[in-house]
Structure 1
Amino acid sequence: MLEELGRDADGNLAAIKRADNVLLAKLGYRSVFVRELSLLELTFFVFSVMGTLGSVSVEMSFPLVAGGHVGMVFGWIIPCFFAMTVACSLAELTSAMPTSGGLYYFSAKLAPRRWAPLASWITGWANITGQVVLMASIDYTLAQTIATAVNVGSDGAIILEPGPTFGITVLLLVLHGVVCSTATAVLARLNVYYAILNIGSSIAVIVALLVCSGENRVSTKTAFTKFENNTGWANNGFAFLLSFYAPMWTFTGYDCAAHLSEETTGASRVAPIAMVAGVGVTALSGWLLFIAVSFATASIPDVIAADFPMPMGKVYLDVLGKRGMLTVWSLVILAGWVGGAAQGVDASRVVFAFARDNALPGSRWWKRVHPGTGTPVCAVWLVMALCVVCSLVGFSATALSSLAGSSVIALYISYVTPIVLRVTSGRKTFKPGPFSLGRWSVTSGIIAIAWVSFFMVIFMFPPGAHPTAETMNYTVVIIMGVFVFASLSWVLSAHRWFRGPVRTVDDSDSSHSAASDVGRIKEKGGTTIEEREVSLESPGSEL
């Protein structure tokens, strides 16, 4: 009986994978990955990129100076509601078009035919920029986390300067490159255990902060209502808005559910659910942790004055003691490590997908899939190399806000572009998949657009008044640098040859995909996909 059930389960799984590949063929792509990710594994992958314990621990500096207790509690939860509208809108698009290209593919399909290549080009470059800078910021903050542990472990005798911190960042990027070059299934399994550990650790830290703070724990009124402006900006309202850096930097990278959809079984249903669930769990757990931190922070000025790369280290040290702090900090380092690995996979899939459509210089290299691991190894190492360049901003005093702002703005430009097209040119032609917002689709999209337009302006400002070369927010430099390059490339060359997503299958290949049980097709040589470029399908065509 058990054997029969096992055969039935295998048969159902194979049928789902065949259906996934048929849909992918209709979208224009031949399957080159093994579909090994389940709902649980993909959800935990999304959660790993955002990771509650690691995110809150490294991002405390933003609400700490931009509102104090109020910044920690309300500076987190308010943006969560708006970020969820963005996630829901993208989940609906992912359900209809589950491809590794994700966002730039959505833009190409939803834009008017004449403007589809340009919309795809803008979205793709914005997404790649955000993915790379986000990866760089994760490993840079992980290096700072390690530096904080060294500081505490040596009782303040060793304080790592920007040079050694940059060296640690490069080493972490190399190690992540090695890990991300392995099979995706390996990381997926590890993420399941990590996510359970992360959630359990977050709960343990919340309890520990509330219990161990004892008499030093502030009152409920102070924890929820005391506002302290340490930004240097005279306007308290504007200062409070800067606390939004923490949640908005956390709520990036959840589009990995779309980019990993070609490696997911039942992608049109699983990917959108994983995206929304990952954001929801992170929002709730992060808020509870920040509330606990607010109660445990007896003096905001003392924490700010501490000579720690990460201010949260001071809070843990005061409340838990040296051993307790280092124990919790080791979990924070683990969270940053696994989050970096998950983000490296995500970023490499974006590079692979954009290169598959010949949109990157040297695309023939970046779209290669290693026959042994089944992963785009060349794309992985391109991401890591670009991250090393981005990490040079670590020599600036405002490196954290520059990297955070750049990744947030670039990613949300890529998030909001297909949403704008969904509620305008694609409003009547879009055909939803199994996950649909129904009549709330347009409303969610409009709220998402308004929210992104609002906070992108805020994130361009420096963290303090009267900026100098050292304290300048270099977000605009990074964003404009890529924007100028992409714009010149379009005007001088790409407008003549880039037509958006390139089909890698003919219509007759759909039946071939349906015959594949595994969903993995290797060309002879196993490295490069044979491509036959055809004109882009009109928006609203059968998906």
Structure 2
Amino acid sequence: MSDELPNATDDARLAELGYKTQFKRGFTLIDATAFSFSIMAVISGVSSTMGLTIASGGHVGLIWGWLIPVPFVICVAAVMAELASSMPTSAGPYYYAAKLAPKRYAPLASWVVGGANLTGHVTLLTYIDFALAQMITTAIAAGTDGRVALGHGPTFGLFLAMLVLHGCICSATTRALARLSLVSAIFKVGATVAAIIILPVCTGENRVSTRVAFTSYENSTGWSNSGWAFLLAFTGPMWQLAACNRLRCAISEETARAAKVAPMAMLMSVACAGCLGWIFNIATSFAVASVPDLLSSPFPLPMGQLYFDIMGKRGMLAIWCVTIVVQFMRGAAQGVTASRVVFAFARDNALPGAHRWKKINHYTRTPVNAVWLAVSLAAFFGLLGFSSIAMTSAACATVIGLYTSYAIPILLRITTGRNKFVPGPFSLGRWSTPMGTIAIAWIAFVILLLCFPRTQSPHTSNMNYAVVLTMGISILAYGVWAFSARNWFTGPLQNIDDNDSNNTITQAFGEMSENAKSTQGL
């Protein structure tokens, strides 16, 4: 079957949703799954969050702090996959919210979800690229035996350089991005599998026992309640897996057979990342001889110290360079997602200067202007990196924003929008309501968890300011809505008229008919 047939069908479905086709559909199922998997790069993701995880339970935090959240994340992904199958558009969660909310409140629901989603993905790009800059500074510190320890200024400079490189990559054609995603995913899986083998082998006789690796608990958070301290270990995998549900929505309009491919890619990528991440954490747990020593490391990231301890400087630099490459590819994938979120919101005239940000480049057929707006906003949020606690708080606020943008459409799906929802090729059927209920409960728990400080008696230098950041952004969003946006923002806007829509749908059915005739002739 030719590519034109599924593309025409996809274009017809998009026209029914109110949008004309502007992208080239260059992503296949394999490419889409690889793209989703790219943002959840296990080796670099675990490396950037290991310090938080081992502080919240040591070996237990590493292994069980990763495994327990995975089934709940899959539950969230399944409900979002059902929505993506029904409404395969780059607008994603805020489009779902607008269509499932009561008509009176649809614009407000769309505005809140869209703002939370956009802020979450831009700040996630900030966090990924800032962690990348920290990985580079860790490599420099290890390579110079600690003689060169770059401060906040040089680290911020590296962060800006990475953002610019990612902006250039994300401005490429859809087909090039699809091929890059596939190569990136293969490289990331290979690097993670290699690390899983290297960690226990290089540790040798210094490996801890199975009992220690799976059951040793150490609370270094400052919370006296050990159970609560362990729950804080969930923040690591939450940062890793939170974006998966939006990634596939972001490139739905660039994917062939989007209504079928999007949900499959979501679930496959979450399941693969969850399993591979757990195995990697098990290997890491066996290699950790002393949790306090890692937490007191002079390196910006404790994982770098672990590699240094078991492999020496040269070995550490070798695997760390691979980790840096993986993180760089991860940033590129997130840059694509953030730019598509900006484009979709601008297409519905929800951003100042929307006519610039929704413009599609004639050569690449991608939203190049939106790419550079996303990069610029990420650079602005990167100023928080001059304070480590501010950046950690921003990372928590990022996950809160993303999960808020998932919770609202899911809640509407199982309540007021239950009778409005028209299932796509992927449907949960009678499991929609129970899985949606579990997803909402999990999201509420995670948001509450991420608002708490890492210690029981916080002060200004170690406080979690996620609540302040989240409330500040929320007050700003609601303020703009109350004083301005409610007068002009009506939710998703059609950019295709009825004649264009009918022509697109007629063309799709015409091609299906011609294909059927050709098949009969054969």
Task: Tell me, yes or no, if the aligned pair for 1:396 and 1:471 is still in contact at 8 Å.
Answer: no
Task: Tell me, yes or no, if the aligned pair for 1:132 and 1:347 is still in contact at 8 Å.
Answer: yes
Matched, 1:163 2:153: yes
Distance 2:418 2:8 in 1: 30
1:40-59 residue pairs with structure 2 within 5 A?
40-59=30-49
Distance 1:450 1:514 in 2: 40
Matched, 1:36 2:16: no
Instruction: Pick the aligned partner of 2:422 from 413, 427, 431.
Output: 431
Relative distance call for 1:516 and 1:53 in structure 2 (3 A) is farther
Provide the residue aligned with 2:131 in structure 1.
Answer: 141
Provide the residue aligned with 2:185 in structure 1.
Answer: 195
Matched, 1:175 2:165: yes
Comparing 389-398 and 73-82, the one that deviates more = 389-398
- For structure 2, list consecutive stretches of 5 or more residues without a partner in the other structure: 509-522
Relative distance call for 1:286 and 1:400 in structure 2 (3 A) is farther
Provide the residue aligned with 1:252 in structure 2.
Answer: 242
User: Deviation at 1:384?
Assistant: 1.0
Relative distance call for 1:191 and 1:516 in structure 2 (3 A) is farther
User: Deviation at 1:129?
Assistant: 0.7
SS in 2 for 1:213: helix
C-alpha deviations, 1:126-147, integer Å up to 9, x for none? 0001001100000000000101
Instruction: Pick the aligned partner of 2:292 from 301, 322, 334.
Output: 301
User: Deviation at 1:515?
Assistant: 6.9
Provide the residue aligned with 2:347 in structure 1.
Answer: 356
Task: Tell me, yes or no, if the aligned pair for 1:130 and 1:407 is still in contact at 8 Å.
Answer: yes
Distance 1:188 1:478 in 2: 34
TM-score of the two chains, using structure 1 as the length reference: 0.92
Task: Tell me, yes or no, if the aligned pair for 1:103 and 1:415 is still in contact at 8 Å.
Answer: yes
Relative distance call for 1:151 and 1:516 in structure 2 (3 A) is farther
User: Deviation at 1:301?
Assistant: 0.8
C-alpha deviations, 1:163-205, integer Å up to 9, x for none? 1111111111111111111212212101111211111111111
Provide the residue aligned with 1:93 in structure 2.
Answer: 83
Instruction: Pick the aligned partner of 2:467 from 476, 493, 499.
Output: 476
Task: Tell me, yes or no, if the aligned pair for 1:397 and 1:470 is still in contact at 8 Å.
Answer: no
Equivalent AA in structure 2 for residue 371 of structure 1: H
Equivalent AA in structure 1 for residue 48 of structure 2: V
Corresponding residue pairs, total = 507
Distance 1:477 1:143 in 2: 26
SS in 1 for 2:388: coil
Matched, 1:109 2:99: yes
Provide the residue aligned with 2:10 in structure 1.
Answer: 20
User: Deviation at 1:516?
Assistant: 6.8
Provide the residue aligned with 1:129 in structure 2.
Answer: 119
Provide the residue aligned with 2:518 in structure 1.
Answer: none
Distance 1:399 1:160 in 2: 19
User: Deviation at 1:508?
Assistant: 2.2
C-alpha deviations, 1:35-63, integer Å up to 9, x for none? 11000001100000111111111110111
Comparing 317-326 and 286-295, the one that deviates more = 317-326
Distance 1:233 1:396 in 2: 22
Q: Larger helix proportion, structure 1 or 2?
A: 2
Distance 1:335 1:397 in 2: 23
Equivalent AA in structure 2 for residue 223 of structure 1: A
Task: Tell me, yes or no, if the aligned pair for 2:15 and 2:505 is still in contact at 8 Å.
Answer: no
Equivalent AA in structure 2 for residue 334 of structure 1: V
Matched, 1:374 2:355: no
Provide the residue aligned with 2:458 in structure 1.
Answer: 467
Matched, 1:235 2:225: yes
Provide the residue aligned with 1:528 in structure 2.
Answer: none
User: Deviation at 1:429?
Assistant: 2.3
Runs of 4+ in 1 over 2 A off after TM superposition: 464-470, 510-517
TM-score of the two chains, using structure 2 as the length reference: 0.95
Distance 2:461 2:307 in 1: 29
Equivalent AA in structure 1 for residue 223 of structure 2: W
Distance 2:345 2:197 in 1: 45
Provide the residue aligned with 1:347 in structure 2.
Answer: 338
Provide the residue aligned with 1:274 in structure 2.
Answer: 265
Provide the residue aligned with 1:501 in structure 2.
Answer: 492
Matched, 1:65 2:63: no
Distance 2:178 2:137 in 1: 29
Equivalent AA in structure 2 for residue 236 of structure 1: S
Distance 2:468 2:161 in 1: 25
Matched, 1:223 2:227: no
Q: Percent identity?
A: 50
Task: Tell me, yes or no, if the aligned pair for 1:401 and 1:463 is still in contact at 8 Å.
Answer: no
User: Deviation at 1:504?
Assistant: 0.9
Provide the residue aligned with 1:532 in structure 2.
Answer: none
Equivalent AA in structure 2 for residue 114 of structure 1: R
Provide the residue aligned with 2:437 in structure 1.
Answer: 446
Distance 1:316 1:447 in 2: 38
Provide the residue aligned with 2:513 in structure 1.
Answer: none
Distance 1:142 1:368 in 2: 30
Equivalent AA in structure 1 for residue 55 of structure 2: V
